[in-house]
A and B are shown apart, each in its own frame.
Chain A
Amino acid sequence: MNLTQPPHAPVRPAPAKVKIESLGVYLPDKVMTMEELLSSCRRRPRWDLERITGIRERRVAEGEYAADLAVQAARRALAMSRYRAEELDVLVCTSISKHNAPDLFAFEPSTAVLVRKALGAKKALVFDVVNACAGMINGIYVVQGLIRAGLARCGMVVSGEQNMPLAATAARQMRHDFDGQIAALTLGDCGAALVLDRSEDERIGFHLLDLVTGAKHDHYCFSKPSPRGPGGMLVTKASGLQRKGNEHFPFYFKHALDQTGWSLDDLDHIIPHQVSVRAMQNSFKAVKRFLGTDAPDIVRCCADKYANTTTTSHFLALHDLALHGELQPGHNLLLVSGASGIVVSHATLTLDDLPERYRAHLAGGA
């Protein structure tokens, strides 16, 4: 008997960690303020949405569509990556807004095929993963599974969100101050892409990806073609969604920390889904009540500048932190997402030298 081995050693070895090898974010140039968006409403809501949400402005794609935003972000991620497009084994696109042409919502071919074609990722397995605002974290979960199962060496998760057509429908169709489409006025456009591969260092990479769908609450938020006229619409019962999320989210927040073996003191940044400044504040009040202690001042928010960019929002926040020098190698992050479904997702990860490489890459004129 080999006494160096415990008598009941686990048969399955600990799964390998997957890390963010490269990051790319694409923001359209055009800025639209909340005031400009509200002025475009056929029936302007009485609420001071800028004060209520904390969103001052957002970026708006002009002459570009959702797939274009995804392609731009993917090109930026590849420009910094040690992998070339043709080396990608898998490419997963997680966009919700598949507005790839005016007044169209595309189902086929998958947006991942269009990104693959634009990049020349000739051997990549491609498909779309769609899970509302949890899409990119869900995409990472899928690519992590493929890498761990030995089916891929590296992969890309990409999303291009052209959400402003939904805001335009809301501006045309809102009938009153309590109209369900009002939350569409908090949206913005953005593209984001990640290259993922196996981490050589056990301390680096995703420690936990925890996603759960509480499908009993699937009615709080939905998006589909509007029955009131042309255009797609987003309908949100914002207060109900927030209330239900706050009931369950603090438990999973602590669960993520416990499963990773971290306490609040180990965290350098908490990056929530950038719904609105107010919503994030309310969520962390709920966490404070659950934990019985103040969370350190590490909740990062960029919704004031970029609004809610749905699936891309965590990685836009990562870009913003890196750009401002607040993200450093070795930092511990907790990504938190609440999405319609209701999907609650948490990811804990430790960064390698990505922030330094990212800053150097941006300084190089990329």
Chain B
Amino acid sequence: MPRCRIESLGVSLPPGPLFRRGSIAHAVRAGRACLESSHYNREDVRVLVNAGIHRDGHVCEPAMAAYIQRRLDINVEFQGRRTLAFDLQNGGCGMLNAAQVLSALLLSGEAQVGMAVASEANGDRRPAPAYSYPPSGAAALIDLSPRESIGFGTFAFHTHDEFSELYTSVVSLKVARGRIELRRGAELEEVYLSKARAVVDEVLEKDGLRREEVALVVPAQISKGFLAKLPEAIGFPKERVADYSDTLADTLSTSTFLALHEAMKGTECAPGKTVLLLAFGSGVTIGAASYRW
């Protein structure tokens, strides 16, 4: 079975408190870093998917992906090489969803190279106290893997819609320019923890993997307390679950890929090794995917 791989990964890490960038600037910064370390040219990107949630000006039309496409200068005209850009929204799991959708489009022959990008920023003048995500960006170039043993294995997403009210983010239109209102139930992390094992088990079973064959689990960096409980919840030893919470805060849609970028500096992301990506988001949805280097 052919696979798709991450050909290149770029990030735009949260800056210090005195320096603010918007969501488009973060996405473009991550996209540029991704293209610079890639063997592809920007013109090769046929599909651009943006999975970010909170965006400059709370724009809902056109797709933010079009703004990002223009600033990355990826086939911005209709003539010649062409690109389709669209948004995919699914909270914290969106970028993993985007990777799955791009893989499907690549495997079905619709495109040869795609880019998944996500960024978060809150430009409100007085941000809601519950909004805790530092601005950030992540971008991944995805292509067909040259070998069937390399790249993404199974993607699995479990949605527990009975908890759909547990996490909501809306833009209030009662005030000029809008304002993000975010509500996070106190038991959200407990629900994540109680439901994570099933999705991990599904990926491992479908890919025929045993837990000891996974070099590292790379989860979204929800919180320090959450990451302390996660290893037991998913049945992995603590040292094989990546915890970068001292340096990386939860950044919503970009969090899993920022953590993967960090993990790639270590020895666990070496050829032949397998990692497990884990994302958590509203819905409540938990997503997982195995990735073999």
11 additional contacts (CB under 8 A) given A144-B108, A212-B82: A110-B90, A117-B164, A126-B283, A126-B285, A131-B85, A132-B63, A142-B104, A149-B104, A214-B77, A224-B57, A340-B66
Is A231's beta carbon under 8 Å from chain B?
yes
Contact in complex: B69, A215 (CB < 8 Å): yes
Q: Does B208 contact A (CB under 8 A)?
A: no
Q: Which residues of A contact B94 (CB under 8 A)?
A: 127
A224 adjacent to B283 (CB under 8 Å): no
Between A and B, 9 residue pairs with Cβ closer than 8 Å are A96-B61, A113-B285, A126-B90, A126-B157, A128-B89, A130-B88, A221-B62, A341-B66, A342-B62
Interface centre among B57, B170, B174 (most CB of A within 10 A): B170
> Do A113 and B53 form a contact, CB below 8 Å, given A128-B88, A212-B84, A340-B61?
no
The interface residues of chain A lying within 8 Å CB-to-CB of B33 are none
The answer to whether the Cβ of B178 comes within 8 Å of any Cβ in the partner chain is yes
In whole angstroms, how far apart are the Cα atoms of A71 and B66 in the complex?
A: 28
- Which residues 57-112 of B sit at the A interface, judged by CB distance below 8 A? 57-63, 65-67, 69-70, 74, 76-78, 82-91, 93-94, 97, 100-101, 103-105, 107-110
Known: A145-B105, A151-B104, A211-B84. A231 touches B173 (CB 8 A): yes
B283 and A109 contacting across the interface, CB-CB below 8 Å: yes
Given known A216-B77, A225-B178, A229-B176, contact A142–B61 (CB-CB < 8 A): no
On A, residues with C-beta under 8 Å from B are 12, 15, 96-98, 100-101, 103-110, 112-114, 116-117, 124-132, 134, 138, 141-142, 144-146, 148-149, 151, 165, 211-216, 218, 221-232, 234, 248, 251-252, 339-344
Residues of A contacting B: mostly? mixed
Give the residues in chain A near B177, CB-CB below 8 Å.
225-227
Cα A41 to Cα B84 in complex, Å, equals: 37
Does B132 count as interface, using CB distance less than 8 angstroms?
A: no
Q: A104 CA to B175 CA in the complex, in Å?
A: 10
Pair B61/A132 contact, Cβ less than 8 Å:
yes
Does the CB pair A12–B109 fall under 8 Å? yes
For A112, list chain B residues within 8 Å (CB): 90
